[in-house]
Amino acid sequence: MAVIKISNKKLIDDMQAKLILRLGRKITQQETLDLCLKYSTQNFEEILALASTTPMLNPERAKKIIERFERFKDTPYNQEATFNNPEDNDIYLL
């Protein structure tokens, strides 16, 4: 069995508690996660919408990033500099 880190365990605990109350029987966290994964697979578009807080990298945006890189590739690196370009988030926060 794989070990995974869950950032918000309370959500799983809450879901498990709701399932136990509605089903009238004990359900394990493993079963709860299995059900959530099954639901996610069947409702992929909804999951994609939830995950879309991270911008999707499309060909046009990738081209802009590459062009910008080519334009500045010979610029000396300055550790004190800050960059506020929206593409920086796409590159460094993925």
| Range picked from 23-27, 46-50, 72-76, 79-83 for highest mean pLDDT | 23-27
3-state SS track over the chain: CCCCCCCCHHHHHHHHHHHHHHHCCCCCHHHHHHHHHHHHHHCHHHHHHHHCCCCCCCHHHHHHHHHHHHHHCCCCCCCCCCCCCHHHHHHHCC
Query: What confidence tens digit (pLDDT) does each residue in 48-72 have?
Result: 888 877 677 788 988 988 998 888 8
pTM exceeds 0.75 for this model: no
User: Which residue in the block uniquely carries the two structure tokens 């994964």?
Assistant: 37
